[in-house]
Amino acid sequence: MRVEIYIFLLVLAAGLGIWRGTAGERWIATTVLAGNLLTLVIVRAGARTFASVSLFYFGADALLALVLCAIAVMYPTWVSVLVSAFQINGVFGHLVKIVAPNTIPFSYAFLLRVWAWPMVIAMLSGRLFPELRRTLTRRHWPGALRTIRSDSAGP
């Protein structure tokens, strides 16, 4: 049941991002959707357990992390930065298993499965909560931060 809920939320988030999103959100949604499909193909083709790291899986996640980071640089929004950060977490999950092959398979599986949910939730939040979106994209800083920011601007 969790897989069906995840797929539903993924398709909803990606669909809203592609259909109603900004240019950056369209790129993020398309990349995340393509990444999930690529992961599904790799997992189905390899039929491996979480006892070892699939180099194709690791390579695909690393490539997707690079693409998402490039999108976050070109279209810097809180959604693009969060989604990129969660993808990087997934890549680090693979690296943990590569560096420490005796890692318990459950903990490796948990790391890889957990990071995907916040990505989808961030994408949905960016589209479904416009007030949150406006609040997070405002350039008005609170008083203390405004003072620190203006001091660090230099002479």
pLDDT for res 74: 92
In this predicted model, what pLDDT tens digit does every residue of 27-38 receive, in sequence order? 999 999 999 888
pLDDT for res 154: 46
pTM for the full predicted model: 0.75
Question: Which residue in 45, 133, 120 sits closest to 82, CA to CA?
Answer: 120
| Under 8 Å between Cβ of 46 and 56 | yes
Average the pLDDT over 91-117 and give the result. Answer: 76
Residue 103 pLDDT exceeds 60: yes
Residue 99 pLDDT exceeds 80: yes
- Residue that wins the pLDDT comparison between 128 and 30: 30
Rounded CA separation 77/81 (Å): 6
In this predicted model, what pLDDT tens digit does every residue of 67-89 receive, in sequence order? 999 999 998 888 888 999 999 98
- Residue that wins the pLDDT comparison between 138 and 24: 24
33 alpha-carbon distance from chain centroid: 11
**Residue 155 binned pLDDT confidence (cut-offs 50, 70, 90):** very low
Q: Which sequence spans correspond to the domains of the chain?
A: 2-151
pLDDT for res 150: 45
